[in-house]
Amino acid sequence: MDNNNNKQINSKITTNSGSAVGHYEDSQTVGQRGPVLLQDYFLHEKLAQFNRERIPERIVHAKGTGAYGKFVVTHDITSYTRAKLFSKIGKETDMFVRFSTVGGERGSADSERDPRGFALKFYTEDGNWDLVGNNTPVFFIKDAKKFPDFIHTQKRDPQTNLKSPTMVWDFWSLNPESLHQVLILMSDRGTPNGFQHMHGFGSHTFSMVNTNNEWTYVKFHYKTQQGIKNLTGNEALAMRGSDPDFGQKMLIDAIAAGNFPRYTFSIQVMTQEQAKTFRWNPFDLTKVWSQKEYPLIEVGYIELNKIPSNYFAEVEQAAFAPANLVDGIGFSPDKMLQGRILSYPDAQRYRIGTNYQSLPVNACPFMTNNYHRDGAMRFDGNSGGAPNYFPNSFDGNFEDPAAKGQPYELDSNIVAYFDRNANDNDHYTQPGDLFDNVMDAQAKANTIKNIVGAMSGIEGPKREEIIMRQLCHWFRASVPLGMGIAQGLQIDMEKLKALMPQR
């Protein structure tokens, strides 16, 4: 994708309407020291444009960096999907990738302890496919209805306008479903050393369908070929002061030097029958699928090889939405995914405008054809004099029956508000396995140190209650983890013992 603008050099300066500008740097006044005249319309245009240079920043993932690249197929998965970008080995698809932090503002540091957004946009001949994931395979919550509350705790206290460990840990301790993601966040994986040195995940469960209309569930993984590198808590803290934009700088410098970052793209596959008997809810975003039971199937690789020519136009205005799928890839009953189908496009329409998908970085480079019309900043001709309704007797446009998707049965036809944790309240086994069986001794020590440091910021009259409640969750996941945190916080063990749930 080439998004260089068409501005002329060695040419006269004009207003936005194309009129020549006769004097650029001085306002028109009555006399040398006199008041400025209202008729200096270029002054007004400059100031009005300047006042509107900023669009609303993203509520989440506000700080980010991006790059163009390509996806190359190296292995055949046509037995699982008919999506054209996977149709043959060697096929290349243009891409745009945006990395980000989740909770901070646009000016926040790249080394904050935070999940990292890892969003992929594939410009395919069947339309744009957005795979909007993170650098972790799970998330803090499993139902989108809880998302605004969760994000509020990660932002600023409404009274003090300061970040609040008390809000953060109060929410997490009251929602043990967050424990798996919190443990990953509190490990050194919560402070990756640059975007080239972290894995990415689609996180949600999606579906695939092949040319025989056979259907499976999938999870997407994109693993760094540069090797995992993380910062310790102290290193991340120092980096915030010395080079808050180090992640963006590393990415730009690597691409400029021709050291193009690559990520191996793989899938996990689960059949519909396996989904019915899986130990946990396979659509629960707080859980992973064991790679021993559902091994990674390599598909291809992502290569980032071009720096955007203008940050605002191509990174800040880049808009991703899990609703953007292509034939051969589908949704699943994942409650968080279902909520994002609505919320992400809605956020982009608010932030950039209803025609945001016509912007060059977001536009499908192949044909689009529909009856959407009008709205602010419609700059693509608005389909000229073509009909704006369907069906009609003039244009011959038609629907594609193959794009309807596959019929499927739901577990129930009962409509109700179902408890998201009913029959799915094991929030402890997977994080316990992660700490006890995956982390080495140094990773365990660093994780405990990071948790102790984070929980030490809890304050106020509910401090002890919040700490004790969260400690009970840590102990349920792993006794060594709970003991290490309790000792680091200098907790009265007899008092804690009285509060611990009886097994």
Q: Would residue 452 count as lying in a domain?
A: yes
Within this chain, do residues 34 and 70 fall inside the same structural domain, yes or no?
A: no
Q: 173-190: per-residue pLDDT in tens?
A: 999 999 999 999 999 999
Residues 265 and 217: their CA atoms lie apart, in Å, by 16
Look at 30 and 234; give whichever has higher pLDDT. Answer: 234
Nearest to 343 by CA among 319, 318, 361, 368: 319
Q: Provide the percentage of residues in the chain whose pLDDT is more than 70.
A: 97
74 plus 17 within the same structural domain: no
413 domain residue, yes or no: no
254 and 308 belong to one structural domain: yes
Overall average pLDDT of the 141-146 stretch? 92
AA identity, residue 339 = G
Structure confidence by residue, pLDDT tens digits, 404-418 = 777 777 777 777 888
* Separation of alpha carbons 189 and 230, rounded Å: 6
Name residues whose C-beta falls within 8 Å of residue 204's C-beta, 6 or more positions apart in sequence.
133, 219, 285, 322, 332, 334, 336, 337
Residue 140 sits in the same domain as residue 120 = yes
What is the average per-residue pLDDT within 283-289? 96
- Arithmetic mean of pLDDT, 48-53: 83
What is the per-residue pLDDT across 361-383, written as a single tens digit (0 to 9) for each? 999 998 788 888 888 888 888 88
Of all residues in the chain, what percent carry a pLDDT higher than 90? 72
Answer whether residue 388 is part of any domain: no
Please give the pLDDT value at position 1: 45
**pLDDT over 90 at 31, yes or no:** no
Find the mean pLDDT for residues 409-436. Answer: 87
- Of 338, 358, 378, the residue that ends a domain is 358
Answer yes or no: is pLDDT of 2 > 50.
Answer: no
Among this protein's residues, is 446 annotated catalytic? no
Domain membership flag for residue 58 = no
Same domain, 46 and 81: no
Q: Which residue has the higher pLDDT, 37 or 148?
A: 148
Domain boundary among 358, 377, 399: 358
Domain that holds residue 41: 9-53
Catalytic residue among 128, 134, 324, 446: 134
pLDDT at 113: 96
Considering the domain boundaries, does residue 2 fall inside one?
no
Tell me: the pLDDT tens digits for 303-339?
Answer: 999 999 999 999 999 999 999 999 999 999 999 999 9
Residues 30 and 73 in one domain: no
Q: How far is CA 150 from each of CA 164, 173, 175, 290, rounded to the nearest angstrom?
A: 13, 12, 10, 27
Tell me what pLDDT residue 367 has: 78
- Residues 332, 447, single domain; the answer is no
Same domain, 81 and 35: no
What is the predicted pLDDT for the residue at 501? 58
CATH number at residue 19: 4.10.91.20
* Residue 48: band (very low, low, confident or very high) from pLDDT cuts 50, 70, 90: confident
User: Do 262 and 289 belong to one domain?
Assistant: yes
> What is the average pLDDT value for the chain, to the nearest integer?
92
- pTM of the predicted model as reported, rounded to 2 decimal places: 0.91
Domain membership of residue 39 (yes or no) is yes
Query: Do 354 and 481 sit in the same domain of this protein?
Result: no
The pLDDT-based confidence of 225 (bands split at 50, 70, 90) is very high
Catalytic (active site) residue 61: yes
For the chain, how many structural domains are there in total?
Answer: 3
C-alpha distances out from residue 195 to 110, 249, 262, 448, Å: 9, 10, 11, 24
SS3 325: coil
- From the list 61, 180, 427, 473, the catalytic residue is 61
**Mean per-residue pLDDT, 438-445:** 96
81 and 111 housed in the same domain = yes
Same domain, 15 and 124: no
Among candidate residues 314, 330, 358, the one where a domain is terminated:
358
